[in-house]
Amino acid sequence: MQKSNERAVTSFLLKYGTYVIFLTVVVIMLLISDKFRTLSNMVNILLQNSTLGVMAMGMTLVIITGGIDLSAGAIMSCAACVGAVLIVDHGWNQWLGILVIIAISTAFGVINGFSVAYLRMPAFLVTLATQSVGRGLALVISQGHTYRKFSDVIIYIGTASILGIPVLIWLMLIIMALGYVLLHRTIYGRQVFATGGNAEAALVSGINTRLVEMSTYVIMGLICGIAAIMTVGRIGSYWTALGTGIEFDVIAGVVIGGTSLAGGKGNMAGTLVGVLLMGVISNALNLLGVDAYWQDVAKGCVIFLAVAIDALRNRYARAD
């Protein structure tokens, strides 16, 4: 009986541990910090992590299929760079410039997806290669210059509010909601889970696993374009280091939220909580005056813990 209870507790913690940790951190900070309790700080946490939340939607789909995308930040930078040059230097119509940003980022997603799904190249190496290509192209095209004076539409997306809530937060919530419906309420979502859980069985059941796998990278590419517009709009400028390392924060948030790196398991609600948990921890460290270098150490520990929990979760699932 006792052993059964221990297994039940372990199963609960592995499944809902992220939610428990998130609530614990929030409650502790509410008790010890007056600044944390303010509405402006809560909005600031959501605002600062809106781009991560948007990108985590696409990354969740990729990881559930058993893949990974290390090129997300570079795709953001390259697409935003081309858009910046066309809009700022060449005076292109702002809407056309936005479409170019989306088109370029989606094209990267198509390359990643086709290479992984149809050429059977390792996702880690493919996306590492496109990461280098994206960063290199951004440097070549921009020559290291910083671009400002963007179009009204991009600035509006990054700075305006609707009903008192920043547009960026609305975008994050809408895209996460769409991701939830896509993953948990559609046939496509079930195909994504099936492809990541057991590709051979999914193929036998009539699922075009290669197309499903490729589609997740295409969606990720599209999302990177949206994230690029959001980031440039919020900052009001483009620089070649845009998005550097952001893919690791995104992956960490997704894994912390319960998506397995082994594929086949995950949920969009958990991803949102995982991203917000990282945001709350970062905000708490800032409010507590922790040195920036130690914040990097703390972030690394959180990522390590996320991978460790994922390994334990998979081991426990196999034991059952």
In a domain? residue 8: no
CB neighbourhood size of 116 (10 A): 27
Residue 1 has pLDDT above 60, yes or no: no
Instruction: Look over the chain and give the mean of its residue pLDDT values, rounded to a whole number.
Output: 90
Token pair for 142: 């921009």
Nearest residue to 230 (alpha-carbon basis) of 23, 71, 55: 55
Nearest residue to 222 (alpha-carbon basis) of 104, 48, 71: 104
pLDDT at position 297? 87
In a domain? residue 56: yes
In a domain? residue 10: no
Find out whether 167 and 174 touch, Cβ atoms under 8 Å. Answer: no
In a domain? residue 177: yes
47-77 residue pLDDT tens = 999 999 999 999 999 999 999 999 999 999 9
The number of domains in the chain is 1
In a domain? residue 39: yes
pLDDT at position 318? 61
Residue 135 has pLDDT above 80, yes or no: yes
- 114-133 mean pLDDT: 97
Residue 140 has pLDDT above 80, yes or no: yes
Find out whether 43 and 168 touch, Cβ atoms under 8 Å. Answer: no
Confidence of residue 233 (pLDDT cuts 50, 70, 90): very high
pLDDT at position 8? 66
How much of the chain exceeds pLDDT 90, in percent? Answer: 67
pLDDT at position 76? 96
In a domain? residue 12: no
Range of the domain at 81: 17-319
Find out whether 230 and 154 touch, Cβ atoms under 8 Å. Answer: no
Residue 2 has pLDDT above 60, yes or no: no
In a domain? residue 7: no
Of 89-103, 196-210, 257-271, 286-300, which range is least confident?
286-300
- 171-199 mean pLDDT: 96
pLDDT greater at residue 300 or residue 69: 69
3-state class (DSSP) for residue 134: helix
State the CATH number of the domain containing residue 242: 1.10.3470
Token pair for 164: 């008192």
- 121-134 mean pLDDT: 96
Radius of gyration of the chain (CA): 20
In a domain? residue 303: yes
Of 5-19, 82-96, 303-317, which range is least confident?
5-19
